[in-house]
Amino acid sequence: MCAAPSPLLALREITKTFPGVVANDRVTFDVRPGEIHALLGENGAGKTTLMNIIYGILQPDAGEIIVRGQMTRVRSPADAIAAGIGMVPQHFLLVRRHTVAENIALALPTLPFLFPGRRAEGRIREVGTHYGLAVDPRAAVWQLSVSEQQRVEILKALLRGAQILILDEPTSVLTPQEVIFLSNVLRQMKADGHAVIFITHKLDEVFATVSPFCARDVSSAPSISPPQTSGRWPG
């Protein structure tokens, strides 16, 4: 029997409190390459707080974040991006008047100064084709559907080099057909060895994930160990 791969991301005893509220209580879990984990809980359960800690938006009161076996201090989203962590928020962070390529170029400071949007177009098409994230690089964001805007956010994270991708309630803005489309994207990411965490409070989505899942209220979950259960996305 082959040994399980080492975790891309490991959380150890992560704790976060706000005045009068324990948002995360000693949360511990691992995410390995090629796994898609659903983090389940009601509104206010601490799911987004935990993901904001992983992405450097919030700082934990206690606990450790370990990326590829190395203890990592994630002080900001820039630290998270440098560590290969990407996040697609529920409310997209795109400049509506700019094109897809211009939005992604803003997130890629290594592009040449002159005409960075045009220089990004080839990579957008290449990565978009591979993952099934087709979108016109020259389209203005305001012209895109919500589903297409979500594709831009995912492309932005992938082009930044994300190996660990956090999706904050990604299906809440999608139609059933678009959920099937997203499932195909996640299957390709799984096949390529990415680790994906998606936040939801919909139990049917948890049973539709393609990897063993963790389903706990993270406000009071000392340890999250995925049961050996698997399922399929619709379609």
Q: Among residues 48, 51, 64, 57, which one has the least CA distance to residue 12?
A: 64
Provide the 3-class DSSP secondary structure of residue 77.
helix
Two tokens, residue 44: 């206010």
pTM for this model (two decimals) = 0.85
pLDDT band for position 207 (cuts 50, 70, 90): low
What digits encode the pLDDT tens for the residues 112-139?
A: 554 455 678 888 999 999 999 999 999 9
Q: Is the pLDDT of residue 3 over 80?
A: no
What digits encode the pLDDT tens for the residues 166-191?
A: 999 888 888 888 888 888 898 899 99
Backbone CA torsion sign across 172, 173, 175, 177: negative
Q: Is the pLDDT of residue 205 over 70?
A: no
Task: Name the E strands within the chain.
Answer: 9-18, 21-31, 36-40, 62-67, 70-71, 85-88, 164-168, 195-200
The DSSP element (H or E) to which 125 belongs, if any, is: helix 116-131
DSSP states of 141-161 as a string? GGGS-HHHHHHHHHHHHHHTT
Q: Among residues 182, 171, 226, 172, which one has the least CA distance to residue 35?
A: 226
